[in-house]
Structure 1
Amino acid sequence: MIVRIMGEGQLDLADSHFAELNALDDELLAEMEVGDGPGFRRTLGALLDAVRALGTPLPDDSLAPSELILPAPDSTLEEVRSLLSDDGLIPG
């Protein structure tokens, strides 16, 4: 799956990694629900770090469509809320 981190670029991420990422996504949702700003910031960073570590960067000139778009590391809680679906940031 092609994943874009806003402001950074795209990565090719194997579907087998999504169970691990969903655990972080669930944690992020829980922190957002209670308004835990520091927890939200920490977990968003961990989620994006995991995507970077597990994914293979695509060249900057790649025109592949992104199947999943994740917020930039400096996104606010409100900005991330606007990107959420019923499943969180990561479907599944």
Structure 2
Amino acid sequence: MIVRIMGEGQWKLADSHFAELNALDDELLAEMESGDEDGFRRTLGALLDGVRKVGVPLPDDSLEPSELILPAAGASLDEVREMLTDDGFFPG
């Protein structure tokens, strides 16, 4: 799966990393629903760091279609809320 972090670039993720990232995604959803701004910031940072850590960065000149788009680290709670589906960012 190709994942884009807005304003940063794209990473290729192996399916084997979905469970770990989906757990953070679920945590982020719960924090957003409860309005926990501090938790939201912490978990969004951990989710983005996780993608950067386990993903393989694509070259800047690569134009692969992104299957998943994640917000920038500085995105507001409302901006992220508009991007989410009922399942969060990661399906499943």
Segments ≥4 residues shifted beyond 4 Å: none
For residue 85 of structure 2, what is the aligned residue in structure 1?
Answer: 85
For residue 6 of structure 1, what is the aligned residue in structure 2?
Answer: 6
Aligned length: 92
Q: Could you tell me which runs of 5 or more consecutive residues in structure 1 were left unpaired when the two chains were aligned.
A: none
C-alpha deviation, 1:63, in angstroms: 1.0
C-alpha deviation, 1:91, in angstroms: 1.1
For residue 15 of structure 1, what is the aligned residue in structure 2?
Answer: 15
C-alpha deviation, 1:86, in angstroms: 1.2
AA in 2 matched with 1:66: S
Q: Could you tell me which runs of 5 or more consecutive residues in structure 2 were left unpaired when the two chains were aligned.
A: none
TM-score between the two structures when normalised by the length of structure 1? 0.98
C-alpha deviation, 1:4, in angstroms: 0.2
TM-score between the two structures when normalised by the length of structure 2? 0.98
Percent identity, aligned pairs only, is 78
C-alpha deviation, 1:87, in angstroms: 0.6
RMSD over equivalenced CA pairs, Å: 0.5
Q: For 1:1-92, what aligned pairs fall within 5 Å after superposition?
A: 1-92=1-92
